[in-house]
Each structure stands twice: as structure tokens, then as C-alpha cells.
Structure 1
């Protein structure tokens, strides 16, 4: 929801710049966000600092075809005011055959328009089909994952680790809802953390996991850094498992 309200624009730009200052160099956006407006916001924030940033953007599923993918990528590059996207994702699976999207991503990579490509919101069976369609160069899968959405732990995350593919967790604080969780807040207080910081630290404690929490003001970004720097003890992780139980069966991948 960044770049949707002009009143918040200065704060949002400053938040992104503050993240870069702190070494939080990955910025995630998509053509979907504010219908391209978020990419333009990112361009403003990284102006003069492009080489300090690992830039991620995403294409709509209906733009995953051989004809539409290069056009969508070109539009994103123009809005981002850059000559390359570091990681370009298919936002979720659509009707375009995966082999066609894979081939399109590979052509964009060979042309230097993107450095890596991946997917988002792909469950285990989707990932297996992707690899079978030639997508073994998939660099990441971005999925909904947090303390209240632990379903991927049953089969998707083990499969990803087996393939050597990192996972990107979006909404690691459940769109802010975990910030008000009473038990999490109580645990956080004992550790000198807020509930949101503890929730984010937990996601970052997972193997081969990248977290992309939204942060629309500089103070929020600074608070997130505390979670990055913190290591959770086995005892804390065990206590969190008592509050937020890991899955005991296969669960379909959820989306927000």
C-alpha cells in the first residue's frame, strides 16, 4: 500500500533511504503495487544509490507469456529508472504455461535486463512442476509465512532447502496484526523487544529465509534492524512453538 497516498510519500521515501543507510539493501516491489506507483516511489528513493540496492520486482501472472513478459519488464525498468532488476518474480501462477514463462525469464536474464528470476505464491506441487518445465534456475520463491502461517514448514520449505532455493517471507508480521498479539508482546517485553520485532526475528531465524517486512516510516525501519541483529535462543524458539504450533499436516499455501 505504499505510493497510494501522496501525503505519506515523503515518509515512505525517507523510510527506504533509511533502510539503505542501515544496510538493509533488499527492496521488494511489484508492478501490481499502486499500479506501478510503488516502482516509481522506489526509483525516487534509490536515485544515485542504485548499486547499493538489491532490487526485486514482480510481474502479473497474465504478463508471464512470451509476448507480454518482456513488455512488462521494460515498463518496470522504466518506472524504476534502472537498466536491470536483480530478482524478477512471477507474482503468482496464472494460465500461462510454466515452460513459456521460464523461457521468457531466461531470455530476460540472457539479455541482462534481470540478474535472477523466481516466483511467488508457488506451493510444493507448483515448484515441482516449475523445475520439470526447465525452471531449475529459479532463484527464490516468495510466500506468505509468519508465526500464524506456518503451513509451508510441512513440505514446501523442506523441498526448497533440498533444492538449494531460498524462500522470501512476505507479511512476516501478518500485516501488522502480530504487533498486537498479547502473548507475543509479553514474551517480547522479557527480551527487550516489541511483539513485531520478536515476530520478525523468528522468521529470520528460519534456515535459508529472507524476510521482507513493510516499513513505511524511518522509525519502523530502525526498529526492524533490531530484529535483524538479534539471535533467538532455543528456549525462546521452543516457547514460541507452544504459542504458535507448527503444522501437523499438509496445508495449502495461503495468500494475502
Structure 2
């Protein structure tokens, strides 16, 4: 499983991890088996959040006997992101996850509480050993600039953002910002949450052709494309063990320059939007 340095943490993390949004809509036993299959295949980066229903409890069951192998991430909703609220929310997530610390803890999206308070809460947790790092999610460049001005360099571990073949807005400014400041960029919903290219479309046929030449699937080709750049990670979600193993295989898929150019031509990033897309 190919791994790279995770932002300011300077720890090695698999480029393809496992998301858990809506994983509680799958059969619980299958969901746990899928996460375990992914871990066994090297996808030890697991992302969850307090607002993901029963996901943290499902993750807890999946990692119960392998916590030390896992890079575990959860997120606090903006409504809980006061200095004291961050501490309470983190403790609740730790109880649900049945662990004593998170490897990274993220603000789920920019909110109304002062960012200074949120970051102070994160730093309190980091000093207490409850979290090893903190980051943000759905932050555009202006939000990132503000967070950097408050926290200083080498504090923001990552920015988790929407990133799939039909939504490449982050490549305009967010990804370059993250590269410049040593912040990991974690793409969520890499299969587009129902917006994966139709196999009959021109783009779908391109993916299928590349997949066939590598003996893999169009989904694996998409994951390889989305993690082609330095500092990028992705966290596909599945409730199926066989699909988890397929996803893991994408980490060792190396696309050639011509293949990347072909995908780029069929799935152009388009103009920079006024507002950063998010789900």
C-alpha cells in the first residue's frame, strides 16, 4: 500500500483510506467486515465524524483489536466548535470509538463560532494527548489563510474537501495552497456520491479502457488519478468487503502521462467556482 507524509505531522499515511459517511446504511456486519478487509489490505487511514450517525460505533467494532495499526480521524460539527464544546465533542467521539486518542481531529466545515476558539480547543486537546493533530474540512483559500494566521505554520494537518472526476474545483487554488503550506489534501466522495461516470459515456469508456489495460476497475483508475499529485489522499466508502479490497489495490496503480492526459481531457476541471463545492 503506497503511503506518503501526512501534512505537518510528517507521519506516513496510506494515500487511499476509508470513509464512513452513510456506512451505517449498510448491513452492520458487512460494514464492519468491509472496514476490516480494507485495513487488512493496507487502508489503515479511517475517517469518520460525530454527525455520521452510528458510524463511529461501527468503526469502533472494526478496529477493536487493531487500533495501533489505524490512523483514526474524526470531525466536530461547527455548532460544537467553541473551546469547551470541542473538548466535549471530542470526549464523546472517543467514547463511541472506544479509544483514548484520535490521530487527527477536524472542524467539519467553517461555522459561526470564532475560529480562534476552535483552534484553541484543538490545541488544548493536543497538549492533553487526546488528539495527535488537528485539521479542517471544506475550507476554501480564504478560510485556510485565516486558520494559518491564527495557528501559525506546521499546525494544520489537512484540509478535507470534495474531490472526484466531475468535481475538480480544488485544483484551482485550494490544492496549490495546501502544497505550498505543507497541508495534506484529503478528497472525500471520490466516486461522486452517485455521480460516477456512466460506462456508456465517452469518459466512462476511457476509464474502462485504461482499467482493462491494467487489469483493474474504472473505480481504481479514478482513485489513482485523484491521488496522482503530491500531498493528496482519498477516502472512498464502501459497505462491501470485496469492493474495499478493490479500492485498496488502486494505491499501487501507476498511471502513465498519456493516461493522465486522457482522463484530464474527458473530465476537465472547468472554471474556478465562486464558492467551494461541498456536500
Give the match for residue 186 of structure 2.
168
Contact 2:110 2:138 in 1 (8 A): yes
Cα shift at 1:21? 1.0
2:270 aligns with one of 233, 239, 247? 247
Higher helix share: 1
Give the match for residue 223 of structure 1.
246
Give the match for residue 173 of structure 2.
155
Give the match for residue 25 of structure 1.
44
2-structure distance, mates of 1:14, 1:230: 24
Q: 1:112-131 counterparts in 2 under 5 A?
A: 112-131=129-148
Give the match for residue 198 of structure 2.
180
Q: CA-atom RMSD, angstroms?
A: 1.5
Cα deviation, 1:73-98, whole Å, max 9, x if unaligned, reads 00000000000010100000110111
Contact 1:168 1:209 in 2 (8 A): yes
Moved more, 110-119 or 127-136: 127-136
1-structure distance, mates of 2:62, 2:214: 33
Number of residues paired by the alignment?
252
Give the match for residue 127 of structure 2.
110
Give the match for residue 99 of structure 2.
82
State the 4+ residue runs in structure 1 displaced beyond 6 angstroms: none
Cα shift at 1:197? 1.3
2-structure distance, mates of 1:9, 1:179: 28
Normalising by structure 1, we get a TM-score of 0.94
Normalising by structure 2, we get a TM-score of 0.86
Cα deviation, 1:174-197, whole Å, max 9, x if unaligned, reads 124326343333443344332211
The structure, 1 or 2, with the larger RCO (C-alpha pairs under 8 Å, 6+ apart) is 2
Unaligned runs of 5+ in 1: none
Moved more, 158-167 or 193-202: 193-202
Contact 1:19 1:222 in 2 (8 A): yes
1:200 aligns with one of 196, 200, 223? 223
Check if 1:13 corresponds to 2:32: yes
1-structure distance, mates of 2:218, 2:88: 42
Cα shift at 1:103? 0.6
1-structure distance, mates of 2:157, 2:278: 20
2-structure distance, mates of 1:230, 1:142: 23
Cα shift at 1:135? 5.1
Give the match for residue 212 of structure 1.
235
